[in-house]
Chain A
Amino acid sequence: MAAGSSARDGSPGGRRTVLGRRERAELRDSVADVAFGPASGAMLEVRDLQIHFPTDDGLVKAVDGVSFALERGKTLGIVGESGSGKSVTSLGIMGLHHGTNAKIGGQIWLDGEELVGADPARVRALRGSKMAMIFQDPLSALHPYFSVGAQIIEAYLIHNKVSKREARTHAIEMLDRVGIPQAASRVDDHPHQFSGGMRQRAMIAMALVNDPELLIADEPTTALDVTVQAQILDLISDLQAEYGSAVIIITHDLGVVAELSDDILVMYAGKAAEYGSAEDIFGRAAHPYTWGLLDSMPRLDEERADRLKPIRGTPPSLINVPAGCAFHPRCAYAERTGGRSQTTVPMLHELEPGHLVACHLTADQRREIRGDEITVRP
């Protein structure tokens, strides 16, 4: 908790106090309205990010006003179902929507540099060097016709003026560091000659080859065997400790972020549903959607008394987002808000320092619903 809140305390203007005051004054206030000073402190600060895609069927608001901050050496987990906007957010940070018809608003500050309005060439120069990304399925994310080594060497040569020989030596070093056995001889292998876990290790080596300060891992373990998943997550956290990078882990699996994350952002239909430290989310979750995610997660530390409870319904279409709270058609407690869930978009407000939620339920109602169950969570 201390780590999580200090990250936000470092953000200029003091999000906590500003939001807290506003909340008392007017519940419906928006985070977007809050004026922040210039970026400082946090390695990455995303403010009111909006990524919209005009389509023939209407405007798809894939990301609609998301804000978060991340310090060096810390890990943020972004959690949500398919279509919640988590991958679109990460691609937006990397500037990979450039050249598509995406309309991007808000601000992204990376180490004091604003990226949304920046020259695409500048963002490209930062891409791969200051911020790097690893993708879900390493088999399709690695080029099938080039050797693993060639792809890592290429990534190094883009941002470093060194000879090919030096780059090759460095690539072998990186493969060795991510745990590829006999890296010097495997460097010329092609991706299909690697196993799934080794491919993801190679992918990580490629992402870290330029020692990035921000590493975004988009569902890094989804395509892998369960046994390999833990190894890859361990590797990411080991390398984070070694390189001191800030890490964003995007996943639909709360179990993945439980181990690694300092902070967790729960996204629903392009918006933040809940945002707080890992302790906040796992111990004092306040949003019915987060409860749903927690209840649908298998737990090995408790006796299997109940069946897993899936969240009923399906994620909404991003073209026709339900009025009011986007989650209300699936929410078991929407009736308790006296119709406000159906009509009014809940604003993200602070429950306790550093723990923000976008829900109309009052603290008393939450206590009534979850009771002591909330407090037994680690």
Chain B
Amino acid sequence: MITFIIRRLIATVFLLVLVSMITFAIFFLLPKLGGQTTYGLATEYVGRNPTRAAVLQVEQQLGLNQPVYLQYWHYLSAIVAGEHYSAGPQSVYCPPPCFGYSFKSQQPVWPQMTSDIPVTASLAIGAAVIWLCSGVTIGVISALKRGQIVDRLSMGIALAGVSLPIFFTGQIALALFSYKWAIFPSVQYVGITSNPLLWAKNLVLPWITLAFLYAALYARLTRAGMLETMGEDYIRTARAKGLPERNVIFKHALRAVLTPIVTIFGLDLGLLIGGAILTEITYSLHGLGWFTIQAIQNQDFPEIMGVVMLAAFFIVIANMVVDILYAVIDPRVRL
């Protein structure tokens, strides 16, 4: 078990390096292969209508005329050791972990992202708790009441949940609960440490909006898994022992159903912490998703690269956690 975790950790580090290579290649190698000159690349970092001398200076300062592998090495070493950037006349120090310096916003990328992580994390984790609890509960009830009104109703709602996009349900929720009835008038992020109650209250609408989509998915997954599991031989064995039906369902059946659910849950959560773009935009929450969109709209390469790396990091970590967790919950996974 310990060796498995260590092996998995080492593999994760390699995977992250690989992700960084691919990301770097996309931003710095592909333009070159596409015929873009380093001069053309450098113009992206300078303001509008730059002089030729200014562009050449930027090209020199950013090392864009260096070979790509050298640039990549600088990028990696900056993450570990920090880097000095010359922005205009003065030099700016970007402390480690330095994911580059945004010349458009005149700041290092990392502190901008770290300030956005709590917003997205609050949104994603809160919604995850809601969708996991409600989705699994609804799925179990639907499976047990298969074909009855409860089942048809909840599966109908689940179909709506899967089909309706967040920018639609989010707007409806805002229109009803924020403007018409003013139950949750302001959707503004407040740090959990400064005011936990307000933090939760302001996030209720985004949570429910995001959770609605995922709860629908999870309800359908749970229902399908439950229906399959209830026909398994070991469920019949559990009944043959004289086990009360609620134990058969909640101990024996749910145990088997939850294993794949936990896997998907970990991956979904990892994906969302890297940015819940639609929900953040709908509710104007300045999280990583919002940051991503801003960076893309501004064509801010260092910021885009930084957020891609961060999102990839969360997904890779989520994968690792799921792998380790799976080994714990499924005894058949031999390490």
- Interface range for B: 20 to 34
The A-B contact count (CB < 8 A) is 70
Q: Complex formed: what's the CA distance from A144 to B330 in Å?
A: 8
Q: Complex formed: what's the CA distance from A352 to B174 in Å?
A: 85
Q: Which 6 A-B pairs have the closest CB atoms?
A: A128-B242, A127-B242, A140-B233, A128-B241, A143-B234, A190-B331
Q: Does A129 contact B (CB under 8 A)?
A: yes
Is chain B's interface secondary structure helix, strand, loop, or mixed overall?
Answer: helix
CB-based nearest B residue for A159: B242
Would you call B239 and A96 a contact (CB within 8 A)? yes
CB-based nearest A residue for B255: A145
Would you call A143 and B331 a contact (CB within 8 A)? no
Q: Which of B210-259 contact A (CB under 8 A)?
A: 232-234, 236-245, 252, 255-256, 259
Contact of B241 among A127, A140, A145 (CB under 8 A): A127
Q: Complex formed: what's the CA distance from A159 to B241 in Å?
A: 9
Contact of A141 among B237, B243, B256 (CB under 8 A): B237
Would you call B242 and A143 a contact (CB within 8 A)? no
Q: Does B332 contact A (CB under 8 A)?
A: yes
Would you call B233 and A137 a contact (CB within 8 A)? yes
Q: Does A170 contact B (CB under 8 A)?
A: no
Known A143-B234, A190-B332; contact A133-B240, beta-carbon cutoff 8 A: yes
Contact of B244 among A124, A129, A140 (CB under 8 A): A124
Residues of A within 8 A of B259 (CB): 145
Known A135-B233, A137-B233; contact A144-B331, beta-carbon cutoff 8 A: yes
B303 to chain A, nearest CB (A): 45
Q: Complex formed: what's the CA distance from A102 to B151 in Å?
A: 22
Contact of B240 among A94, A125, A143, A159 (CB under 8 A): A94
A100 to chain B, nearest CB (A): 11
B328 to chain A, nearest CB (A): 11
A122 to chain B, nearest CB (A): 11
Interface string of A111-129 (1 = CB under 8 A from B): 0000000000000111111
**23 intermolecular pairs with C-beta atoms under 8 Å apart:** A94-B240, A127-B239, A127-B240, A127-B241, A128-B240, A128-B241, A132-B240, A132-B241, A133-B240, A141-B233, A141-B236, A141-B237, A142-B234, A143-B237, A143-B238, A144-B256, A145-B330, A146-B252, A146-B255, A154-B241, A154-B243, A159-B242, A192-B332
Q: Complex formed: what's the CA distance from A127 to B240 in Å?
A: 6
Residues of B within 8 A of A96 (CB): 236, 239-240
CB-based nearest A residue for B256: A145
Known A145-B259, A192-B331; contact A129-B242, beta-carbon cutoff 8 A: yes
Q: Complex formed: what's the CA distance from A99 to B259 in Å?
A: 26
Q: Complex formed: what's the CA distance from A15 to B103 in Å?
A: 100
Interface string of B294-335 (1 = CB under 8 A from A): 000000000000000000000000000000000001111000
CB-based nearest A residue for B329: A145
B102 to chain A, nearest CB (A): 49
Q: Complex formed: what's the CA distance from A140 to B332 in Å?
A: 13
Q: Does A155 contact B (CB under 8 A)?
A: yes
Residues of A within 8 A of B332 (CB): 144, 190, 192
Q: Complex formed: what's the CA distance from A124 to B331 in Å?
A: 30
Would you call A135 and B236 a contact (CB within 8 A)? yes
Q: Does A34 contact B (CB under 8 A)?
A: no
Q: Complex formed: what's the CA distance from A242 to B306 in Å?
A: 73
Residues of A within 8 A of B239 (CB): 96, 127
Q: Does A158 contact B (CB under 8 A)?
A: yes
Q: Does A206 contact B (CB under 8 A)?
A: yes
For A126, A128, A143, which residue has the most chain B Cβ atoms within 10 angstroms? A143
